[in-house]
Structure 1
Amino acid sequence: MRIAAGAAAALALSVGAVATATPALACTRSSTYCAAHYYGLLLNTSGKVRAEIDTTTSANNLNKKVFNDAYGDREWVQAPLRDRNAGDGDAVYVHWSWYANGSYCYISSIGVSAGPDSGGVTIGQGCTSGWHSTNSADSKHIQDSNWWFMTDSKGVDPTASSLRVTEKPCQDESWVPDECGGSRLLGISYS
Structure 2
Amino acid sequence: MASDSDSDSGEYHGLQILTTCIELIGVSLLSFCLARRVPTGWRQWKHLTWGRTCVLLVLLDSWIFVFFSGILTAGIGISWSHTTCTLAIYSCISFYAVSKILIYAFLSEKVYIVWTGGNQASRHKTKVYRLCAFVLLGYFAIGILMVLGNAHTIRADGVCVIGLKAFATIPLIAYDLSLNIFLTAMFMCPLWILHPISPRLRSVAKRTL
With structure 1 as the length reference, what TM-score do the two structures score? 0.26
Structure richer in strand, relative to its length:
1
For the pair shown, which has the larger CA radius of gyration, 1 or 2?
A: 2
With structure 2 as the length reference, what TM-score do the two structures score? 0.24
Q: Which has the higher contact order (CA 8 A, sep 6+)?
A: 1
Structure richer in helix, relative to its length:
2
